[in-house]
Amino acid sequence: MNKSSEQTATINWKVEGMTCANCALTISKYLEKEGLKNVKANPVSGEVIFDVVAGNGFEKIEKGIESLGYHVAEKNGISTRKETKEPMNRYLRYVLICAPFTLVLMLHMLESVIHIHWLMNPWVQLGLCLPVYIIGMSYFGKSAVKSIRNGMPNMNVLVAVGATAAFVYSLYGTLTGQAEQYMFYETAATIITLVFLGNYLEDASVMQTQRALNSLAKSQKVMANMIAFDEHHHEQIFQVENNVLRTGDLILIKSGEQIPADSKILWGEATVNEAIITGESLPITKKQKDALIGGSLLVDGTVKAQVTAAAKDSVLANIVNLVKQAQGEKPPMQQMADKISAVFIPLVLIIAGVTFAANWIILKEFTPALMRSIAVLVIACPCAMGLATPAAIAVGLGRAAKNGVLFRNAKSLELFKNITQVVFDKTGTLTTGQFQISDFKFVNSEKAIVNDAASIHHSPLTIDSFKRIAYSLEKYSNHPIARCISEAWKVKDDIRWASIEEIKGLGMKAVSKEGDVYIAGSYKAAEHFTNDETHNVYVLKNDELLGWIDVKDELRAEAKPILTYLHSKNIKTILLSGDRKHKTELIAKELGIDEVIAEQTPEQKLETIAALTAKAPTAMVGDGINDAPALAKATIGISLSDASQVAMQTADVVLMNHGLKNLPLSLGLGRHTFLTIKQNLFWAFFYNIIAIPVAAFGLLTPTFGALVMGLSDVVLAINSVRLFVKKVV
């Protein structure tokens, strides 16, 4: 079997200990070296996604990740832990163990105020520092050694080297009886404790950046009332977890319950809130044969339904997985930060070495030189550069998903900042796709009119008889315009035809039992009888025009406000349609659209979008199969959730609320996420450029440096979390 024919599976693991871009790079390079494809490692969520040939074992890959100093905590959503209770954050656990020893040691720094003679004993200080140092090295030291061994030194190298230098220096003084000049046990303990504290704060704040996605993920796991039948065919209902439900299973959903899986109503009616998917909280009435989306809330009513997709294949699961994959992608701005992060650790080690040598030469004192080099090690923060982009993207994509905007990739968020023109398809995008009869006219003269199924006589054509003929013809067509007419003009005594057929490009053609030929069709059917080609349906009998019918596509309620918003942002609007120019221009005039390009084939639409995109960054909003090529060609393709599957698969962004309502939100989130990324990167670079020289010149202690380093990541996370509440529209 050749490689091209091998089936691949996408694997999603959650890895603990991946706290920065260096960690993500380390894991990515290892997996790529093992031959895995499409590797994405996200330091914010801890997600590691990769493609593997179906059937391959994962033991070697898992052991390899463990050997790098990380731990695989989840495999495709299933925890690898044995305990059922949520474990305490390990950094918090380390802080709680180390803090008492460190706080007692720090009293030594207050010796001028508090005189604790026994604390001045170097052996007491060694005893207090040793547990903290052992715990610190069991984490930082082990991780540092593994990262160096794999050729990708991480941030823990800096912490381990700094803490070890202070500890070994102090131990040397204790063993040689020169403790007074070498007492820096509190420095070693404080560095370890404060970095653990910083990691915990970073973890907590980064978790906040994931809260929108976490709330979606939690909605996937609920209990379901499964319906089964005993040997006597009596209905039995019992509760199961929704992850055991399979396609075809029967379930009972009661008022106030969460819908456990994608399903179809077999019995009953209900009111459903689908805000979890669409961001639209307005309840929707669902009846027999209607689809229910897993994760949405059944507000009122009781239904029996049949499961149409297992939990892992549900709409909600696909959304969560899609957002996770998008978060793991790296937009162009992150590439520069990643390149710098890759060489940052060796660079800081060199700077620390130069700092030590220069200070020793200038000051001619070993101790201050060592303390300054340690301060350089512990204040440097590669995490800030690595987290700048992922943290902002996690929040931006999470807020978007929570509000019914689905980004297929992180790059789209960044591209939104440049959009200067938006192209709209007409039918189904600016309009609902639901046609209504807007006007009709019939020839009021004596014609042979069918009054019932058996008789024909000459009488003036009336409104009722004209409607009856049109309904009797159009009821047999599935065309949207035909359905509109048949629904509006439905009668009980419709005409029974001897024969009827639908002729492509023409319309419906029927023959009555008396041999009369009736047609309800396009202008092509009536072109020999009238020069007016502006109508939708022409009704003829025996090559005589009886009248015509006009329909109009209902405009979406939100279309006008959306166009007004785009104009307020100086974004040019273009209407691109395959419909006739006259009708397209009427809609454009009503909505205030800047430019109209009508009567376009799918091929012409593609060429038009290519030309527009070449001139300026262009977003295309469409919903049909014929829009798919143009959506793919645009700078950003935007589709509606009720669009064709082809259009949804081609688009970069999907608006999940069955309309254009969230288009401004998607534009605003794209721009503000990019702004947040710029702010984060500025802070990350500014912090390191300022902090390292300050430490090198001895203007802060290693203890204070460790505290500031821990807080630098928190600043980025807080700035990113602002995107949750920030006004973006």
Give the per-residue pLDDT at 619.
Answer: 92
Kindly compute the dihedral angle of the four CA atoms of residues 406, 410, 415, 417, in this order, to the nearest 10 degrees.
80
Contacts of 400 (CB under 8 A, 6+ apart): 406, 407, 665, 666, 669
Residue 245 lies in a domain: yes
Is 5 part of a structural domain of the chain? Answer: no
Residue 453's pLDDT is 39
22 is written with which tokens?
């260096």
How many contiguous H segments (helices) and E segments (strands) does the chain have?
Answer: 24, 29
Clarify whether residues 622 and 642 are in a common domain.
Answer: yes
* One domain for residues 550 and 632: no
Decide if pLDDT at 2 tops 80. Answer: no
Domain boundary among 554, 575, 603: 554
Q: What is the pLDDT of residues 483-493, one digit of tens each?
A: 889 999 998 88
Please identify, among 627, 661, 695, the residue that sits at the C-terminal boundary of a domain.
Answer: 661
Secondary structure of residue 41 in the 3-state scheme: strand
477 shares its domain with 588 = no
Domain count, the chain: 3
For residue 599, give its domain range. Answer: 405-420+557-661
Residues 277 and 258: their CA atoms lie apart, in Å, by 13
Shared domain for 410 and 466, answered yes or no, is: no
CA distance readout (Å), 395 to 218, 616, 713, 719:
17, 28, 15, 10
Interval 92-134: pLDDT, tens: 899 999 999 988 887 765 554 556 667 778 888 899 999 999 9
Given 283, 313, 343, which residue is the final one in a domain?
313
Q: Which of 203, 425, 627, 652 is catalytic?
A: 425
Q: What pLDDT digit, counting tens, does each position of 386-408 carry?
A: 677 777 888 888 888 888 888 87
Q: For the sheet containing 284-286, what is the strand order?
A: 284-286, 270-273, 297-301
Q: Which residue has the higher pLDDT, 629 or 22?
A: 629
The answer to whether residue 685 is domain-embedded is no
Q: Are 165 and 384 in contact (CB under 8 A)?
A: no
Residue 23 has pLDDT above 60, yes or no: yes
Q: How confident is the model over 300-336, as pLDDT tens digits?
A: 888 999 998 877 777 777 777 767 666 666 666 666 6
Closest Cα partner for 367 from 176, 175, 172? 172
Closest C-alpha to 167, from 144, 141, 148: 141
Same domain? For 609 and 653 the reply is: yes
The 8-class DSSP code of residue 428 comes to: I
Beta strand pairing call for 297-301 and 291-292: unpaired
Q: Do 546 and 442 belong to one domain?
A: yes
**For a pLDDT cut of 70, what percent of the chain falls above it?**
83
Encoded tokens for 44: 């914010």
Written as six digits, the tokens of 604 are 């012409």
For 513-532, write each residue's pLDDT tens digit.
889 899 998 888 888 888 88
Asked if 496 and 522 sit in the same domain, the reply is: yes
Q: Cβ(553)–Cβ(537) under 8 Å?
A: no
* Annotated catalytic residue 425: yes
Backbone φ and ψ of 278, nearest 5°: -100, -15
- Does residue 563 share a domain with residue 523? no
Q: What is the rounded CA–CA span in Å between residue 374 and residue 70?
A: 26
Residues 610 and 582 in one domain: yes
Which amino acid does the sequence have at 5? S
Distances (CA, A) of 47 to 71, 72, 305, 324, 698: 12, 10, 34, 7, 39
CA–CA separation, 214 vs 586, rounded Å?
Answer: 46
Question: Average pLDDT of 495-500?
Answer: 91
Phi/psi of residue 266, nearest 5 degrees: -100, -35
CATH number of residue 473's parent domain: 3.40.1110.10
Phi (first) and psi of residue 453, to 5 degrees: -70, -15
First to last CA, the chain: 53
Contact 585, 598 (CB under 8 A): yes
- For residue 510, the model assigns a pLDDT of 94
* 88 in any annotated domain: no
Taken as a whole, the chain contains a residue count of 729
Alpha carbon 609 to its chain's center: 26
The CA distance from 684 to 338, in Å, is 12
566-609 residue pLDDT tens: 999 999 999 988 777 877 888 899 899 999 998 887 788 888 99
Does 230 reside within a domain? yes
**pTM, to two decimals:** 0.68
To which residue do tokens 């499964």 refer?
A: 226
Q: Is residue 99 part of a domain?
A: no
Q: Helix 332-363 to helix 663-696 angle, to the nearest 10 degrees?
A: 10
What pLDDT shows up at residue 456? Answer: 41
Residue 278 makes CB contacts below 8 A (sequence gap 6+) with 404, 641, 656, 657, 658
What are the pLDDT digits (tens) for 59-105?
A: 788 888 887 778 888 776 666 665 555 667 788 899 999 999 988 88
Q: Are residues 585 and 507 in the same domain?
A: no
What CATH code is carried by the domain that includes residue 650?
A: 3.40.50.1000
The DSSP secondary-structure symbol of 725 reads: T
528 and 447 in one domain?
Answer: yes
Which candidate, 215, 70, 72, 76, places its Cα nearest to that of 156? Answer: 70
Based on the number of CB atoms within 10 Å of its own CB, is 257 exposed (0-12), middle (13-18) or buried (19 or more)?
middle
Name the residue among 654, 596, 607 with its Cα closest to residue 629. Answer: 607
Evaluate whether residue 450 is within a structural domain: yes
Q: How many CB atoms lie within 10 A of CB 67?
A: 12
Three-class DSSP category at 112: coil
Question: Which tokens sit at 518?
Answer: 């009736």
Residue 188 resides in a domain: no
Residue 239, C-beta contacts closer than 8 angstroms, at least 6 positions apart: 223, 224, 225, 226
- 550 and 438 in a common domain: yes
Q: What was the pLDDT predicted at 219?
A: 61
Q: What is the mean pLDDT of the chain?
A: 80
